[in-house]
Structure formats: C-alpha cells, structure tokens
Amino acid sequence: MQQSYNDNKSKLQKAISEIIKNYRQKQNKSISLISNEIGMTKSMWADLEKSIKDPQLSTLWRIAEGLEIPLSTIIKELEKNLGKDFSLIG
C-alpha cells in the first residue's frame, strides 16, 4: 500500500513539473524571472520542475498566477495526463 502511494505521488509530482515547465517555456520565461515574479526562490522552482518538491496548494496557486493561468487549468491538465482512474489512496 505504501509503495503504491509513493509511486503515485511521484507520478503526480512529475505531471505537475511537466505542466508548469511547459507553460513557463511557452511564455519564454526563465526560471529566474518567473520565480522572482512570484516571490519564490529559483532553487525551489527548479526543484518543482525536477519533481523533487511536492508543492502545497498555496504554492501551486501562486505558480498559476505567475503563469497567468487559472489554477483549474493545472488541475484539468493533471486529470487529463494522469487519467480518470488515478488515485493516491487506491
């Protein structure tokens, strides 16, 4: 059970990192610029893009604002990328 949770948490973190990296790159923003715009350290943003960090909801909200997209866009993309059967508890 714990291994399944860890595997799925890792998949979730990877999906988040891919989404935020893609949006940042589409906007031609460097990690330094976007992290400065939202008041986050460059290393924390880089860790998020490398799937090292698991962002809190408040952090994800700030990221969405910095990328000028609704938080719901990130959530919808997560649901699409991970599939309707994805679960952290099952």
Closest among 23, 79, 82, 88 to 49, alpha carbons compared: 23
Query: What is the predicted pLDDT for the residue at 1?
Result: 64
- Match 């891919």 to its residue by tokens: 18
What letter represents residue 3's amino acid? Q
Query: What is the predicted pLDDT for the residue at 2?
Result: 79
Query: What is the predicted pLDDT for the residue at 84?
Result: 87
Percentage of the chain beyond pLDDT 70 is 98
Q: What is the pLDDT of residues 13-45, one digit of tens each?
A: 999 999 999 999 999 999 999 999 999 999 999
Closest among 40, 7, 11 to 24, alpha carbons compared: 40
Q: What is the pLDDT of residues 4-15, one digit of tens each?
A: 999 999 999 999
Q: Please say whether the beta carbons of 42 and 35 come within 8 A.
A: yes
Helices (H) and strands (E) in the chain, counts: 5, 0
What letter represents residue 37's amino acid? E
